[in-house]
Structure 1
Amino acid sequence: MEPLITIRPLEILDLDQIVSIEQEAHQYPWKKSIHLSCIEREYPSLVLELDKQIIAYVVFNYLYDECHLMNITTRVSYQGLGYASQLIQVLYDKSKIAGMQSVLLEVRESNTPALSCYDKEGFERIGRRPDYYPKKEGREAGIVMRRVL
């Protein structure tokens, strides 16, 4: 039997699960308070469930005519299987309905899997922010990417 995939709005009850996924997947994870703030501000964010278990989520927000993709994370054991791409496609649809003209994001320069995913999703590299992200020794650049909708 095919696994059941559901994409739905992120809710306050999802907080502990998304924080767990975040901590597992990132060396410098968002704090729980940041996720809570995004939920309280009602950012139009999504979770992807596989057989009723959250395995990925995306946090985004709208500003003027632009969707800012703030955080997209997939549970480590499910990375590379296309779940982030499914979330991005739904983000595109919701952004178009909301009148957005483009999607903007920043990604670590060293995060080659994410850069590859965004390249495949039609994002263009439009800038570089030196010393944007912390790393073990010092800081690293963020690559700014945009996709026109």
Structure 2
Amino acid sequence: MTAIIRAALADDLHTLLAIENASQSHPWSGPVMARYLKHPDNIWILEKAGKAVGFAVVTQVVGEAELLDIVVHPDCQGLGLGHQLLEFVLELVRKGGCERIFLEVRRSNLGAIHLYEKMGFCQVGMRRDYYPTARGREDALLYCQELLD
């Protein structure tokens, strides 16, 4: 069954938080997620068989986009849904007139890094000790993709 992607609504907050909490070691809080829900087209939900299984949070400002969060529920990982969601985001920001998109990822998130590099992102920097971990902190790798044709 094909997955669909739709804009998130304020009523989706609890669903988004459930996916975020199941997927992240240090999940976003309700107030942070709610802040992005206030702006149309910031959060996109991926549904499979009528159930929300992932989402992406993306902002667009003056020709640049930032992918702030992209998550697929652990029960649905490895099915190509993250790839589908990322393709959607890239097309969305291209249509929005963005020339480039940025993201950051935990150094230890090898699956995400592989996906980003496969999709044309290049590492452009690093933030040392940026993310909290159970044992301290870890680096954030900064990635960018130029969207010009």
> In structure 2, what residue type is equivalent to 1:84?
G
> Is 1:35 matched with 2:33?
yes
Q: What is residue 13 of structure 1 aligned with on the other side?
A: 11
The Cα shift of 1:96 comes to 1.1
- Residue 85 (structure 2) pairs with residue 87 (structure 1): yes
Note the C-alpha offset of 1:43: 4.8
- The residue number in structure 2 matching 1:133 is 131
Matches of 1:120 and 1:11 in 2, distance apart? 31
* Residues 56-75 of structure 1 aligned to structure 2 (within 5 Å): 56-75=54-73
What's the % identity of the aligned pairs?
Answer: 29
Picking from 34, 39, 45, the partner of 1:47 is 45
Taking the aligned partners of 2:51 and 2:101, their CA distance within structure 1 comes to 27
How big is the shift at 1:52?
0.9
CA distance in 1, matches of 2:48, 2:102: 27
8 Å CA contact retained: 2:45, 2:55: yes
Q: Secondary structure at the match of 1:81?
A: coil
Deviates more, 1:40-49 or 1:29-38: 40-49
Bigger shift: 122-131 or 4-13?
A: 4-13
Is contact 2:7–2:41 with CA below 8 Å preserved after alignment?
Answer: no
Structure 1 alignment gaps of length 5 or more:
none
Determine helix, strand or coil for the equivalent of 1:20. helix
Q: How many residues of Structure 1 are paired with residues of Structure 2 in the alignment?
A: 147
Could you tell me which amino acid in structure 2 is paired with residue 97 of structure 1? K
User: Aligned partners of 1:32, 1:62: CA distance in 2, in Å?
Assistant: 22
